[in-house]
Structure 1
Amino acid sequence: MAILLEDNTKYNLPRMYKIRQIFPNDELVNIPEIIRQKMMVTDVSKKILPGMRVAVCVGSRGIKNILTIVSTVVNVLLEKGAKPFILSAMGSHGNGTEEGQREILSSYGITEDNLHIPIVTKVNVRKIGVLSSNVPLFFDQEAIKADLIIPINRIKIHTDFVGDIQSGLCKMLVIGLGNQKGCSTIHEVVPSKFSQIIEEGAKTIIEKTNVGFGVAILENGYDKTACIDVIPAEHIVAQEKILLKTAKKYMPFIRLTAVDVLIMKEIGKNISGAGYDPNIVGRSSVLKEFMLPFPKIKKMILLDITDSSHGNGIGLGLFDIITKKVFHKLDFEAMYTNAVACKCIEDVKIPLMVDTEEEAIRIAVRTIRNVQKKNLKIVRIKNTLQLEYIEVSEALLPEVKKNEYMEVQT
């Protein structure tokens, strides 16, 4: 089927240039040593007693060095005579099932063979309280039975809401360990109240369960580990608010003002809970305000979904054009389970589909009004997490060369 007229295929697409973007580059070099030092601080170490069953909680995010971080925490616990086990803490991800969540953990190397401790992915929950607006609070039964609970998560601005508390330890406690039922219940709250309800829920969980301390991770704009903090339970809420401000300063972004066509090579649950970070491109079904500068983008193209997403293509619905490769990788049950739980079904609508990237670009250009084909402003990025190197068309080079934080590589 010929989607385009012949005239729309005769012009040459612009040459693309590789660009390096410069961001703050703090990086930890000896992660195990830093974690050990922080776990030996009295306020933390006194909480670990011999014989304790300790739930080490791990989520679905693609966190840099996650296996090293988790294994170090586990080794310290074992050395102190505790009995740690890994507990999945990922809400509705992995279809909200034991098998799906175990598969996600395995994709990050979080396995019994690697860690030599049990991996528990049961998804049963118990109601432990009622929050504001009569919202019930559910919590993982295996966590409730544990003598000590240790959430491990990255602190980051969120894709669907703003506030003093966003992605991090508090959200893992309230939504990650709420499993599918708890996740769906919390998402009844309007986005404007989400940060508030997560803070309230985290305080309730810390008060009513055996949360001992949390391991908070910050990443820089180059997708590298910039900071790790081990926070006693009683300080998690207050310290997370401080760390969120630092995390925002580390965030990468696209240092351009206007783009005709943005090509994104991949989205995925290991990149962002929404598949991609809306704060980077300024396109969301939920957010009304964004935390980062972003270019004005006319059309967005998606080429692929990460293998680590296991077919969950949430986020594709906000693109204008996708490849058929994207469509054929979709696991609709996994994707729809996530979208319904999060009440964001707009994010899983199927856009126009084409065979190739070139066809997608030409259709995108054809559907932009008053575009100048000789001066097309096209940007290609890998994903919204890795933005050090991007590609731009020739029409964007003058803007690039004026920016001291951008370098032309080719």
Structure 2
Amino acid sequence: MYAETVKFPKMAKVRQSIAQPAITEIKNAVSEEVKRINMADRIKPGEKVGITVGSRGIANLKAIVEVLIDEVKKVGGEPFILPAMGSHGGGTAQGQVEMLRSLGISAETMNVPVLACSEASQIGITGQGIPVYVNDITLSEQLDKLILFNRVKEHTEFEGEIESGIHKICAIGVGNPKGALTVHQYALDFGYEKTITEVGSYIIQHLPVAFAFASVENYYHETAHIKAMLPDEIASEEKGLLNLAKTMLGKLPFEELDVLIVDEMGKNISGAGMDTNVIGRILVFGQKEPEKPIVKRIVVLDTTEESHGMATGVGLADFTTKKLVDKLDLWSTYFNCITAQSPEKGRLPIYFATEKESIGAALTCIGVTKPENARVVHIQNTNEVEIIEVSESLVREVKEGTNLELLEELKPMQFDDQGNIFRI
């Protein structure tokens, strides 16, 4: 119905210039950074050393972990991979192993064991009364020392001095499903930053942490900065790394839109499926919504294969497609949303059989503005905002912008015979 009655706006392809630094020789850089803290002082011969690896698609993940493994072996340690992903992977040990395998991390590719365990035990309670849970392997004879590795970046559900990074890999990742659920439950009352920081700090103080290793990525998902940190340096260093990460975010070049069209969402794109810093929606109880950008309607068209049907964050959209809904693994999606105390993110938007119908419906829900005059942006996903499509009403702002370049002239919004919009 909407595909036939709505007058779609004309669109033009645009490039947003985003110049950023990157590390070219990643293995050499990681090796030099680890040497700076003198590994031999932190790990003794014969010690069993767990290296945390989460479920995110971190740039150069395999290369970084390979160097950490090699450096541990050089001082006589016995390294292994410790899956640290909270409730991801369906909350099971096998699911954790398969999630890492999809990221190129396995016993075969890394030549070290992957010791997965879905169970967690309480090791204490924080000053605010928050129970602290950790993976049972960290309490067993299988581990003598722990290396905390994670990317430091902005979180998709709150803003603070410490967001997603080393403290989070401790509080939620190492906590397994039980720890992840506990952190999210207490965060609803105490706030995310306070809860993650407090639980993470407790774990850093009470587990045998040798050191932490963090990466920061630029907009292009390239490793831009790395840092090895001794346990007592983690808190202060992570704050600085987060500030650096925020200077390299990719954002939409407009503060107000009628409709945002997103080709794909997924856990490999953002923990929230779509980066909330890009779309301007958080949808978390007790957390303040971003002031900018203001987007009236969001249409998400598909989910990535790497998400394996987990569509956490689909509830951030107003409209979607039957194609996406048919791919849903409801159990994985619901389990992750409930664990994160964000059932809102698992709600199904209104959906239609074709992308054209879904976009047309969104264009009818923008108030008095005529669909053909709507301020519309079309992106591949929230990680890819360099090349975008914009509607006719935004072209003037493109021509006036210093970091925007019009690549093509305006043409009708393009759909194929199945009603799918042409991809960027």
Fold shared, TM-score > 0.5 on shorter chain: yes
2:77 maps to 1:79: no
Q: Give TM-score, length-normalised by structure 2.
A: 0.91
2:307 maps to 1:309: yes
What is the CA–CA distance in structure 1 between the aligned matches of 2:10 and 2:114, rounded to whole Å?
49
SS at match of 1:119: coil
Change (3 A) 1:388 1:347: same
Change (3 A) 1:79 1:190: closer
TM-aligned CA deviation for residue 374 of structure 1: 3.2
Q: Contact 2:89/2:96 (CA < 8 Å) preserved in 1?
A: yes
Please name the residue that 1:102 is paired with. 97
Please name the residue that 2:178 is paired with. 181
- Report the residue type matching 1:153 in the other structure: N
What is the CA–CA distance in structure 1 between the aligned matches of 2:404 and 2:393, rounded to whole Å?
15
- Report the residue type matching 1:366 in the other structure: T
What is the CA–CA distance in structure 1 between the aligned matches of 2:69 and 2:406, rounded to whole Å?
44
SS at match of 1:338: helix
Segment drifting more, 159-168 vs 16-25 = 16-25
How many residue pairs are counted as aligned between the two chains? 403
SS at match of 1:172: helix
C-alpha deviations, 1:291-332, integer Å up to 9, x for none? Answer: xx7432111111111111111101101211111111111111
TM-aligned CA deviation for residue 373 of structure 1: 3.1
Q: In percent, how many aligned pairs have the same letter?
A: 37
2:29 alignment partner, one of 17, 29, 34: 34
Q: Contact 2:130/2:199 (CA < 8 Å) preserved in 1?
A: no
Runs of 4+, deviation exceeding 3 Å: 3-6, 42-45
C-alpha deviations, 1:113-159, integer Å up to 9, x for none? Answer: 11111112211111111124421100111123311111211111111
C-alpha deviations, 1:68-113, integer Å up to 9, x for none? Answer: 1111211222222211111110001111111211111011100111
Please name the residue that 1:403 is paired with. 401
Structure 2's unaligned 5+ residue stretches are 409-424
2:87 maps to 1:112: no
Please name the residue that 2:151 is paired with. 154
2:343 maps to 1:345: yes
Q: Contact 1:222/1:387 (CA < 8 Å) preserved in 2?
A: no
TM-aligned CA deviation for residue 237 of structure 1: 1.2
Q: Contact 1:26/1:226 (CA < 8 Å) preserved in 2?
A: yes
Please name the residue that 1:15 is paired with. 10
- Report the residue type matching 1:248 in the other structure: K
Q: In angstroms, what is the RMSD of aligned CA positions?
A: 1.6
What is the CA–CA distance in structure 1 between the aligned matches of 2:202 and 2:361, rounded to whole Å?
51
Q: Contact 1:219/1:225 (CA < 8 Å) preserved in 2?
A: yes
What is the CA–CA distance in structure 1 between the aligned matches of 2:289 and 2:351, rounded to whole Å?
29
What is the CA–CA distance in structure 2 between the aligned matches of 1:33 and 1:58, rounded to whole Å?
20
- Report the residue type matching 2:279 in the other structure: V
Please name the residue that 1:61 is paired with. 56
Spell out the pairing of 1:369-384 with structure 2 (5 A cutoff): 369-384=367-382
C-alpha deviations, 1:382-409, integer Å up to 9, x for none? Answer: 2112222211122211111111122222
Change (3 A) 1:5 1:251: closer
Structure 1's unaligned 5+ residue stretches are none
Please name the residue that 1:91 is paired with. 86
SS at match of 1:106: helix
What is the CA–CA distance in structure 2 between the aligned matches of 1:208 and 1:86, rounded to whole Å?
20
What is the CA–CA distance in structure 2 between the aligned matches of 1:394 and 1:44, rounded to whole Å?
57
2:278 maps to 1:276: no
Q: Give TM-score, length-normalised by structure 1.
A: 0.94
- Report the residue type matching 1:162 in the other structure: E
SS at match of 2:393: helix
What is the CA–CA distance in structure 2 between the aligned matches of 1:352 and 1:70, rounded to whole Å?
42
What is the CA–CA distance in structure 2 between the aligned matches of 1:383 and 1:45, rounded to whole Å?
43
SS at match of 1:29: coil
Segment drifting more, 185-194 vs 228-237 = 185-194
Q: Contact 2:39/2:71 (CA < 8 Å) preserved in 1?
A: no
